[in-house]
Amino acid sequence: MIGRDYPCFYFRGQEFMQVKLQDFDGSRGLFTSNVLIAEEHLGTHCDAPRHMIAPPGSNVPHAGPAHYVTVDKIPIEKNLGPAAVIDCREYLGTEKPGMSPVIKAEKLKKWENQYGTLQKEDKVLIFTSWTELYYKKFPEGYKLEKTCNMDRTTEGWPAPDEGFIEYLVKRGVQHVGCDFPSLGQIQNDEGPHWIALENEMVVVEKLINLSRLPPRGAFYIFLPLKIENGTGSPGRAIAIV
């Protein structure tokens, strides 16, 4: 659900706005329509490599050719395939306010021991239940990101470190999704993003209802808008079990 009463936007970014354009009384005819003002990274959305990879020669950390991969240039096959759902709910409640519990590569190795080695075609989905707990109308929805990331009064969402993402790169995985606001931790948001995006992985954030999927056996699809030169895009994620 995207709406002004939901935490669909980042609190340090552009607030989602929905403004009435016409209500059955305009010069264009008898219809109603709204104007939307929103950042590309709204609600359930993907990060394209350009989002955090600067152009080659810019002297910015991790600059490189992945800068030229915008959301309209992402091959559709990177956004659909078998889901590999990594249950990480045990990390909830293990950190102090304003900090994210860190999910390391050992978690992936344990998962593989039980469900099989990750393959290139797998779409790895990190399940913490964060959006199911906190993606709600305000004021309850402030717990999704504001109170932990800005106010630092509540615990942050569990998130992977660089080693976790490097392990996925080693396996050839091209798509990683998560059910929390950002792939990175509150205390280290850039690191995991840099590793994923410089390797031209697709990153999807703020997924919801991952609890309804088995560890293996679902077919996952994420469909972003095809925004020219987009750094990312809202989209719909579905899974067929």
Res 28: pLDDT: 83
Q: Would 173 be classed as within a structural domain?
A: yes
Q: Would 19 be classed as within a structural domain?
A: no
For 165, the token pair is 């993402």
Q: Would 12 be classed as within a structural domain?
A: no
**Mean pLDDT (10-residue bins), the chain, 241 residues:** 95 94 86 95 98 95 96 97 98 97 98 98 98 98 97 98 98 98 97 98 98 98 98 98 94
Q: Would 5 be classed as within a structural domain?
A: no
Are 83 and 220 in contact by the 8 Å Cβ rule? The answer is: yes
| CATH number, domain with residue 62 | 3.50.30.50
Q: Would 8 be classed as within a structural domain?
A: no
Q: Would 164 be classed as within a structural domain?
A: yes
For 113, the token pair is 């021991």
User: By three-state DSSP, how is residue 201 classified?
Assistant: coil
The radius of gyration computed from the CA coordinates of the chain, to the nearest angstrom, equals: 18
Res 193: pLDDT: 98
Q: Would 124 be classed as within a structural domain?
A: yes
Rounded CA-CA distance 161/157 in Å is 13
For 208, the token pair is 């919801």
Are 4 and 16 in contact by the 8 Å Cβ rule? The answer is: yes
Are 37 and 4 in contact by the 8 Å Cβ rule? The answer is: no
Q: Would 15 be classed as within a structural domain?
A: no
Number of structural domains found in the chain:
1
Res 25: pLDDT: 84
Print the domain residue range for 115. Answer: 41-240
Res 66: pLDDT: 97
